[in-house]
Amino acid sequence: MKLSLFSATALLVLGCGGSSGSESKPGPVSFTPEPQPSDDGAAIYLVGRTEGDRVIVDVMAHGVSDLHGTAFRVKWDPDALALVDAQASSEWTKESVLLSKESLPGQLVVAWSEKGDGAGHDATQAIVLGTLVFDAKSRKGSAIAFRTDRSTALDHQGKTLAVAWRSGTVPAR
Amino acid sequence: MVPGSAFAADTHPLHQLVARERTGFESRWSGPIVTRSGVLDPVPPPHPPFTVDGSSALDCVHAKHDIRLDPMTGETTATFDLEVRAGNNKPLSAIGFTFDEGLSVTAVSADGRSATFSDQVYSPSRVARIDLSPALAAGQSTTIHLAYSGTLSCGMLSTGGMVCRKGSSFSYFANQSVFPFLFDPDAPYANEYDGLTRDIVLRAPMGTDVVVTGEMVSDSIGTNGDHISTWTIDKPFSRSLGMYVLAGKLGLDMVPGRAVPTTLVYPLPEAQVDTHMTQWSPPVLDFVESSVGGPLPFQRSLSLVHLPAEVGDPGTATYGMTLLSDAYARAGDLMHEETWAHENSHLFWGIVVPEHDSLESRLMTEGMATLTELDYTFARHFSDEDRDVYLARRFVPIGLDLRTVGYELPPVQLGPGASQPADFRTQLYTLWAYYKTAATLDHLRVTLGEDVFTKGLRAYIDTCSYVSCSPDDFRTALEKVSGKDLGPFFSRWVTSSSRPQVTFSFEPGNTSAEIELTKEDDLPMTLEIWVRLESGALVKRLVELGPRVTSVHVDTPGKVRSVSASPRHDLLVDSRSSIEGDLDFDGETDGFDILKCARLVGKKYETQGAVGLWVVDEKFDPRCDLDGDLDIDDDDMDKLAQSFGSLRGAR
């Protein structure tokens, strides 16, 4: 592991320098979540895994008992990552409204919500709200970050839930 | 007999006219008509744009009543002295009145001239006429002396209401029962205000409780054991508004916390509703007084009456007395209390400040009373909420009622040839007289700013107390305090009906916003603009809109998130973002717009017949009903989804 990490850093340096004249193969792509604070409070956060150059990020919710819907935006560096898919999870009912759109390069707008005024989802234990899939386009790293000023979660009465928004990073290779 | 020319119909039309005060759950206070008094008014008379039935020469000045009434049997003996004047630069040759058919006139005379009496029964009333010879020349006065007696029949009106109820521990005697209801037989439907003062002596058998319209002057036991109470109406009070005697074994509780002796009058045994009304009365009266900037003028006494539903009288406000049927308790405590605020506010809006012509507009009576009731409920029960949001929410069902049921209603101030919705009991009348007026006033209040509106209201009260005024006088008062020409406002929303569309767009900055407001006409308009910052702080700004497109620069203490109109304009201004689907006016369509509506899917606005004020479906957000079918459903969500994701920089 140590070697691998070292190699990645070295490759990055080489890649950025760009003067060697020969492209070496980039190291494996990875995802680093934003550290979880010790209080372990209510949060919507990202958990990632990789498959080759593909980064698969689950949008998780934890610590809320009545999550009726969420609206958020996610930003990334479009030179580093390409959005392949954004799928809501099977937690949502068939009647729910599930919308996502990469409206600007590197900016995904999402609305996942139940319809009607029934109770929301119990996320006192962590649940997966949906999954975002990216392909790494280059050696560049990028944050995959919630725009907290454009993100919210509501309960079934329409009250805003106090949640922390924790993002993640795909480090440079 | 009564001349056929005056009373040709089998059912005298005045029965309908007077009955309007008491028939129908919705009607509540309603004042038919009347001529204003040139003698009593300290300011030049306003000039109405039209009169429905010509102007009346009858100008009542002062009345003295001395009535002995046994409420158990209805036996009555009374004298009545009425000072009248020939007003409106016309001669006056006759006076008409109507009272219970069981009463008969025993003597009639007039100072300085002969008086000829004739009458006819239109059951359950007796309609009478006194012809004066010679007629009073314009400006001349005389006093008419009348004696009458008999046993009240207290029969049912053809409309189903009753004029009086005898033989009960809560006996009830309203207009045209024991008190003569006065009118001009030559212009029975003249709608101008005519105020008069009155002194009343009411004698009742020993042990009888008595409450009469007016302020109590004295209460004593006569030499024959009669209970004698004297009452006064010492300020001009419309001759067509309610005169009541309530008598029997009454519940009489002092209302605490009021400087003026204030009594809750109710039918025994005491019920929970009486406890409620006693509790509600001090905050209601305090609120009414604070809203008009001064105390009620009734300094000797104030009577607050719980009417039992059986008498069929929904309630009213009259001089020194407010009455409300316990039928309103069915709407729940909150709405019952709110209605109590409405009715008590009429002590100002209708009694102290009468309207010139109830057929021309109810803006300054029912409109003000409805606005006061909403303000009261906010202040009393919801003051921890944002006031603008609360008021906007209360007007949502009203707006929907107007949109669905009342879309063809006439304007709140009628012009020549226009008529109000036909019947006091109809939903359309309620919408026109109560809801549309209150919505217009609140919109005006936001347009001018609360302080200016309040100052204008107080100037209107100063000018119009005890004289009749019209919406034109209110406009004059507001223009004086604001320095603004309110012609465009009144022509858009008072003398005509409209809901103009205004489109909002803006470019946000870190400390400012460049705003563009677009409407489809050239008529000026003022809107309160809400600039919401990313921090959540709100900057409010009154903006004058010129022809078509108006550009505004607003400096702000932080980054701008959204720009919209105050939601209190919503009922009368169709404000919308220039971006389709941008329901929160941030210039983008994102998940916030979706979440605003997703929770409401399945909500329908099912009108309860124009009673939105009562059946408050505040959760129905018309902005989420994109296709306007009064049903927030998948069609609306599909429409929202089509414009989803429209961001700045992507367009």
pLDDT digits (tens, 9 = 90+) for B285-344: 999 999 999 999 999 999 999 999 998 888 899 999 999 999 889 888 998 999 999 999
Q: At what angle do helices B333-345 and B368-381 cross, to 10 degrees?
A: 130
CA distance B286 to A33: 60
Task: Please state at what angle helix B368-381 crosses helix B387-404, rounded to 10 degrees.
Answer: 140
Are the beta carbons of A71 and B592 separated by less than 8 Å?
yes
Residue B438 is predicted with a pLDDT of 96
On whether the CB atoms of residues B55 and B190 are closer than 8 A, the answer is yes
First to last CA, chain A: 14
Query: Mean pLDDT across the stretch B414-426?
Result: 74
> Which amino acid is it at B636?
D
Token pair recorded at residue B98? 């109507």
- Binning chain A into helix, strand and coil, the percentages to the nearest 5 are 10, 45, 40
Residues B19 and B523: their CA atoms lie apart, in Å, by 43
Contacts (Cβ under 8 Å, ≥6 apart) of B104: B126, B148, B149, B150
Q: How far apart are CA B494 and CA B89, in angstroms?
A: 31
CA B433 to chain CA centroid, nearest Å: 7
Give the phi and the psi of residue B563 in degrees, each rounded to 5: -135, 125
Backbone phi and psi for residue B182, each to the nearest 5 degrees, phi listed first: -95, 145
Share of chain B above pLDDT 90, in %: 75
Chain A interface mutation, best of B599, B620, B624, highest count of A Cβ atoms under 10 Å: B599
Enumerate the residues of chain B whose CB falls inside 8 A of the CB of residue A116. 599, 601-602
Helix (H) or strand (E) holding A9: helix A2-17
Beta-carbon pairs below 8 A across chains A and B: 79
Task: Give the other-Cβ count within 10 Å of B365's Cβ.
Answer: 26
Phi, psi of B598, rounded to the nearest 5 degrees:
-55, -40
Is B481 a residue whose pLDDT tops 90?
yes
Contacts of A149 in chain B (CB under 8 A): 534
Tokens of B216: 């109590």
Edge-to-edge strands, sheet with B538-545 = B538-545, B525-533, B560-565
Q: Does pLDDT of B608 surpass 70?
A: no
pLDDT in the model for residue B21: 36
B595 chain-A contacts, CB cut-off 8 A: 69-71, 111, 113, 152, 154
Choose the mutation target among A101, A149, A156, A161 for the interface with B, i.e. most B CBs under 10 Å. Answer: A101
The residues that bridge with B646 in the sheet, in sequence order, are B589
What share of chain B has pLDDT > 70, as a percent?
89
CB half-sphere exposure, B158, CA atoms < 13 A: 12
Query: How many angstroms separate the CA of residue A24 from the nearest CA in chain B?
Result: 36
Task: Give the closest-approach CA distance of B519 to chain A in angstroms.
Answer: 29
> In this prediction, what percent of chain A has a pLDDT beyond 70?
87
Confidence of residue B634 (pLDDT cuts 50, 70, 90): very high
Q: What's the pLDDT band for A154 if we cut at 50, 70, 90?
A: very high
Is A97 in contact with B594 (Cβ distance < 8 A)? yes
B595·A150 Cβ contact <8 A:
no
Report the residue of chain A nearest B602, measured CA to CA: A116
The interface residues of chain B toward chain A in range 520-539, judged by CB-CB distance below 8 A, are: 534
Cβ-defined contact of B591 to A97 (cutoff 8 Å): no
List residues bridging with A128 in a β-sheet. Answer: A60
Name residues whose C-beta falls within 8 Å of residue B322's C-beta, 6 or more positions apart in sequence: B302, B303, B304, B305, B315, B316, B340, B343, B344, B346, B347
Cβ pair B595:A111 closer than 8 A: yes
> What are the backbone dihedrals phi and psi of residue B481, each rounded to the nearest 5 degrees, phi first?
-80, -25
Asked if the model's pLDDT at residue B47 lies above 80, the reply is no
> Can you give the pLDDT at residue B332?
87
User: Which candidate, B610, B412, B398, B405, places its Cα nearest to that of B497?
Assistant: B412
Q: Are B571 and B401 within 8 A, CB to CB? A: no
**Residue B646 touches chain A, beta carbons under 8 Å:** yes
Closest by CA to B558, choosing from B582, B539, B530, is B539
What residue type is assigned to position B73 of the chain?
A: T
Residue B337 neighbours by CB under 8 Å, 6+ apart: B276, B280, B284, B377, B380
Nearest Cβ partner of A101 from B595, B599, B645? B645
When pLDDT is cut at 50, 70 and 90, the band that residue B95 belongs to is very high
Query: CB B594 to CB A111 under 8 A?
Result: yes
Instruction: Calculate mean pLDDT across residues B140-168.
Output: 91
User: Is pLDDT above 60 for B28?
Assistant: no
Q: Would the CB atoms of A149 and B534 count as touching at under 8 Å? A: yes
**pLDDT higher than 50, residue B40:** no
* Chain A interface includes B645 (CB < 8 A): yes
**How close A33 gets to chain B, by Cα (Å)?**
24
Residues of chain A in contact with residue B644, where contact means CB-CB under 8 angstroms, are: 99, 101, 109, 111
**What residues in B contact A158, CB-CB < 8 Å?**
599
Per DSSP, what are the bridge partners of residue A168?
A33, A144
Q: How far is B651 from chain A (nearest CA, A)?
A: 9
**CA B638 – CA B632 distance, rounded (Å):** 11
- Among B102, B145, B91, CA closest to B124: B102
| B647 touches A: beta carbon within 8 Å | yes
Q: How far apart are CA B21 and CA B33, in angstroms?
A: 11
Across the range B117-129, mean pLDDT stands at 92
Is B649 in CB contact (< 8 Å) with chain A?
Answer: yes
Contact between residue B326 and residue B273 where contact means Cβ atoms under 8 Å apart: yes
pLDDT of B427 strictly over 50 = yes
Bridge partners of B220? B228
- Hey, is the C-beta of B598 within 8 angstroms of any chain A C-beta? yes
Contact across the interface for A70 and B598, Cβ inside 8 Å: no
Write the single-letter amino acid at A56: I
Can you tell me which residue has the tokens 């109507």?
B98
| B598 contact residues in A (CB cutoff 8 A) | 68-69, 97, 111, 113-115
At B397, the pLDDT band (50, 70, 90 cuts) reads confident
Chain position carrying tokens 């003249």: B190
Residue contact A116–B602, C-beta within 8 A: yes
Label residue B426 by pLDDT band (50, 70, 90): low
User: How distant is the Cα of B648 from the closest Cα of chain A, in angstroms?
Assistant: 9
Q: For position B357, what pLDDT does the model report?
A: 84
User: From CA B289, how far away is CA B395, in angstroms rounded?
Assistant: 24
Average pLDDT over every residue of A61-79: 97
Contacts of B591 in chain A (CB under 8 A): 69-73, 99, 109-113, 152
* CB–CB contact A97 B637 (8 Å): yes
C-beta atoms of B590 and A111 within 8 A: yes
Residue B380 CB partners (closer than 8 Å, separation 6+) = B283, B287, B337
The mean of the pLDDT values for chain A is 87
Label residue B159 exposed, middle or buried (CB < 10 Å: 0-12, 13-18, 19+): middle
Residue B370 backbone dihedrals phi, psi, to 5 degrees = -70, -40
Contact (CB<8Å) A103/B647: yes
Q: Which residues of B touch A73 (CB under 8 A)?
A: 590-591
Chain A residue with CA closest to B648: the answer is: A104
Cis peptide leading into A171, omega within 30 of 0?
Answer: no
How large is the average pLDDT for residues B373-394? Answer: 95
Q: Which amino acid is present at A173? A: R
Average pLDDT, chain B: 88
Both tokens of residue B273? Answer: 């509703």
Task: Please say if the pLDDT value at position B3 is more than 80.
Answer: no
- Confidence at A12, pLDDT banded by 50, 70, 90: very low
Whether B422 has its CB under 8 Å from any CB of chain A: the answer is: no
Measured between CA atoms, how close is A136 to chain B, in angstroms?
A: 23
A78-112, pLDDT tens digit by residue? 999 999 999 999 999 999 999 999 999 999 999 99
- pLDDT for residue B33 is more than 50: no
Inter-chain contact B599–A158, Cβ cutoff 8 Å?
yes
Of B557, B552, B551, B560, the closest CA to residue B509 belongs to: B560
List the Cα angle B68/B73/B79 in 5-degree steps. Answer: 20
- Contact across the interface for A156 and B599, Cβ inside 8 Å: yes
pLDDT tens for B213-253 read: 999 999 999 999 999 999 999 999 999 899 999 999 999 99
Judged on CB neighbours under 10 Å (0-12, 13-18, 19+), B408 is exposed
Among the partner-chain residues A99, A116, A156, the one whose CB lies closest to the CB of B601 is A116
**3-class DSSP state of B311:** helix
- The DSSP output letter for B622 is G
Whether residue B523 contacts residue B480, with contact meaning beta carbons closer than 8 Å, is answered with no
CA–CA distances in Å: residue B522 to residues B275, B406, B450, B484, B574 = 55, 27, 26, 17, 16
Enumerate the residues of chain A whose CB falls inside 8 A of the CB of residue B590: 71, 73, 109, 111, 150
Whether the Cβ atoms of residue B153 and residue B177 lie closer than 8 Å to each other: no
Model pLDDT for residues A17-34, shown as the tens digit of each residue: 333 445 677 788 999 999
Q: Which residues of A are less than 8 Å from B649 in CB distance?
A: 104
CB-based contact (8 Å) between B255 and chain A? no
pLDDT band of residue A1 (cuts 50, 70, 90) is very low
Q: What is the pLDDT, as a whole number, of residue A24?
A: 74
> Would you state the pLDDT for residue B618?
67
Helix (H), strand (E) at residue B283: helix B272-292
Kindly report the number of other CB atoms within 10 A of residue B225's CB atom.
9
Q: Which two tokens stand for residue A55?
A: 């980064």
CA distance B371 to chain A (A): 28
Considering only CB atoms, which chain A residues are within 8 Å of B601? 115-116
**Residue A39 pLDDT more than 50?**
yes
- CA distances to A97, B598, B600 from A91, rounded to whole Å, are 12, 17, 20
- Check A68 against B590: CB less than 8 A apart: no
Query: Among A60, A63, A59, which residue's Cα sits nearest to residue A41?
Result: A63
Residue B416: pLDDT band with limits 50, 70, 90: confident
Chain A residues inside the 8 Å CB shell of B646: 103
Predicted local distance difference test score (pLDDT) of residue B278: 98
Residue A20: what pLDDT? Answer: 42
CB atoms within 10 A of CB B6: 16
Query: Residue B423's pLDDT band (boundaries 50, 70, 90)?
Result: low
The answer to whether the CB of B177 falls within 8 A of the CB of B99 is yes
Contact B59, B87 (CB under 8 A): yes
Q: Residue B34: is its pLDDT beyond 50?
A: no
pLDDT of residue A13: 31
Residue type, B354: P
Chain B residue with minimum CA distance to A97: B598
Q: Do B591 and A104 touch (CB under 8 A)?
A: no
Burial class (CB in 10 A: 0-12, 13-18, 19+), B571: buried
Q: Is B75 exposed, middle or buried (0-12, 13-18, 19+ CB in 10 A)?
A: middle
| Cβ atoms B245, B321 nearer than 8 A | no
Q: Check if the beta carbon of residue B407 is closer than 8 Å to that of residue B432.
A: no
Rounded to 5°, angle at Cα B55 from B52 and B57: 150
3-state class (DSSP) for residue B258: coil
Q: What is the residue whose two structure tokens read 């008598």?
A: B247
- Six token digits for residue B152: 């009240």
